[in-house]
Structure 1
């Protein structure tokens, strides 16, 4: 399955989830529910994936944690905030660069209408 096909399934599952749960819940709730939805359609999903960083030539094991990695190809960064800030986009781009993955989805579930709050970021795709 390509990154684009995975991205489509992530968006579809996110719409379903948002329709059923609505806005205003904790990020961890959306993360758990989205992982469940994606697994239900047969996708391999790993949650809270550690992403080490190298600083000063030393690998630091607790660098970052990726909310979801789907099929080993797409990072999903989940937010439940009033307004996405520029730092949220930069955070996902940094995760893509450090992981070597090419596609990420930034999704803010704390909104009335989800369609304008799902962002696709690419790293050399």
Structure 2
């Protein structure tokens, strides 16, 4: 499955969840619900995927944790915050660079309209 098709399914799941429950829940709730929705449509979804960091000969096995990795191709970083800081965008770009994945979605569920809370980030596309 191509990254763009996976992205469509991820966005569709986010819309369904946000329409049903709206903003204001904890990030962990949205993560569980996204996992459920994406598995329902047959996608392979891993949660809290450890991402090692290599620096100057030192390897940190759990340097970062990606919220969701869908079909081993698309990284999804979930937020439920009042203000989406620029550092969250940079965090996702760092995850993409370190993991070698090409596409990521930053989704903030704490917005009145979910389309305003979805941001697409690319690495080498």
> 5+ unaligned residues in a row in structure 2: which ranges?
none
Aligned pair 1:4/2:4, yes or no?
yes
What does the per-residue CA deviation read over 1:46-75, in whole Å, with 9 as the maximum and x for residues that have no partner? 000000001221211120000000000000
CA distance in structure 1 between the aligned counterparts of 2:36 and 2:5, rounded to whole angstroms: 18
Aligned pair 1:24/2:24, yes or no?
yes
> 5+ unaligned residues in a row in structure 1: which ranges?
none
CA distance in structure 2 between the aligned counterparts of 1:50 and 1:24, rounded to whole angstroms: 27
List, as ranges, runs of 4+ consecutive aligned residues in structure 1 with deviation greater than 6 Å. Answer: none
**What is the match of residue 85 of structure 2?**
85
What does the per-residue CA deviation read over 1:60-103, in whole Å, with 9 as the maximum and x for residues that have no partner? 11200000000000000000000111100000000000000000
Q: TM-score, normalised by structure 2?
A: 0.98
CA distance in structure 1 between the aligned counterparts of 2:85 and 2:31, rounded to whole angstroms: 19
| Number of residue equivalences | 125
CA distance in structure 2 between the aligned counterparts of 1:65 and 1:21, rounded to whole angstroms: 26
Q: TM-score, normalised by structure 1?
A: 0.98
